[in-house]
C-alpha cells in the first residue's frame, strides 16, 4: 500500500536519495529543506515521473515555522505514514578543546533538537491512528567517538538514545521506530564539514569504495515496507572495508 512519507533535509545526500527511492516505490512525498529553489527542482523531477510531491521550505531548527507548516498541511497531506528524520550535519574536525561553539550549537540544534521537534509534531498523530513509522538517520559515529568527531559523535549517540526511548514509548502501539546508522557515505557531508574544501573532502573517501546515498535509502524503503509485525529497530550499514567509525582499510 502506498504511503505518505515526510523527509527532512531532502535537498541533497541521503535525504534526496530517500526521496527518489520512496518515489520509485510509489509513495507520496512531503519534502522539507532550507533551499527552496532545490526543493522546487526536485519536485519537478519527481512529479514529471508521476509522484505526488508537496514541498515545505524551512529549517528544522526553527520550531515555530516547523509547527506552523505541519499544522497548515492540506487535509489530504496530514496523515503522515513515515517520518524520515534525515536533516543533520557535521562541522569541523577540531579537538574538543579547540572546537567552535557556534558549530556545536548548529549541530546540536539540527541533529538533536530538530529531530525532536519533528518527532513531537508528527508522532502524536501516528499514535492516535495506531499506525506509522519513524526512521531516524543516525550514524556509526553514535556508537563510539573518533578523533575530532567529539560533538558530532555525541549528537548521533543522542539519536540512538532518542530512537530507543521512542521505541519504548510507542511499544504499546503499532508505531515502529528505526535507527539507520550509516558509515562512510559519499555525499556532500564532508564538503559541508570542511566548508567547501573539496580536496580535503575527497581525501575522506580516498582508497575505499564508500557507500552512496542510494544504499542508505534502499534500507530505509525496505524497513518501511517490512510486514506490519516486523520492526527493524536498528541497522548499521558500512562499506566493505570499513569495520567501525575509526577502522577503515584504504587500498591504493
Active site residues: 152
Cell 555525499, located at residue: 187
Hey, which bits of 9-140 come out as E strands?
A: 28-33, 53-57, 82-85, 132-137
Name the 3-class secondary structure at 249.
Answer: coil
Sequence-distant (≥ 6) Cβ neighbours of residue 6 within 8 angstroms: 29, 30, 31, 32, 80, 82, 83, 84, 118, 122
State the sign of the Cα–Cα–Cα–Cα dihedral 222, 223, 229, 233: positive
Distance between CA atoms of residues 20 and 5, nearest Å: 12
Amino acid at each position: 500500500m502506498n504511503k505518505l512519507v515526510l523527509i527532512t533535509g531532502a535537498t541533497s545526500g541521503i535525504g534526496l536519495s530517500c526521496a527518489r527511492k520512496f518515489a520509485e516505490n510509489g509513495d507520496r512525498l512531503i519534502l522539507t529543506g532550507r533551499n527552496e529553489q532545490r526543493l522546487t527542482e526536485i519536485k519537478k523531477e519527481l512529479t514529471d515521473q508521476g509522484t505526488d510531491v508537496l514541498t515545505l521550505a524551512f529549517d528544522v531548527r526553527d520550531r515555530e515555522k516547523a509547527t506552523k507548516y505541519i499544522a497548515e498541511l492540506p487535509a489530504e497531506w496530514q496523515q503522515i505514514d513515515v517520518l524520515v528524520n534525515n536533516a543533520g550535519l557535521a562541522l569541523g574536525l577540531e579537538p574538543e578543546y579547540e572546537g567552535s561553539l557556534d558549530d556545536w550549537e548548529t549541530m546540536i540544534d539540527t541533529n538533536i533538537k530538530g529531530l525532536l521537534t519533528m518527532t513531537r509534531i508528527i508522532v502524536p498523530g501516528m499514535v492516535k491512528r495506531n499506525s506509522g513509522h519513524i526512521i531516524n538517520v543516525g550514524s556509526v559515529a553514535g556508537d563510539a567517538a573518533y578523533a575530532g568527531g567529539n560533538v558530532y559523535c555525541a549528537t548521533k549517540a543522542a539519536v540512538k538514545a532518542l530512537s530507543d526511548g521512542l521505541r519504548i514509548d510507542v511499544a504499546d502501539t503499532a508505531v515502529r521506530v528505526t535507527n539507520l546508522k550509516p558509515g562512510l557515505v559519499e555525499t556532500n557531508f564532508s564538503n559541508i564539514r570542511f566548508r567547501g574544501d573539496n580536496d580535503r573532502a575527497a581525501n575522506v573517501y580516498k582508497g575505499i569504495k564508500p557507500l552512496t546515498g542510494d544504499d542508505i535509502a534502499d534500507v530505509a524503503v525496505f524497513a518501511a515496507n517490512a510486514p506490519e509485525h516486523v520492526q527493524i529497530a536498528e541497522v548499521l550499514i558500512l562499506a566493505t572495508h570499513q569495520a567501525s567509525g575509526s577502522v577503515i582499510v584504504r587500498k591504493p
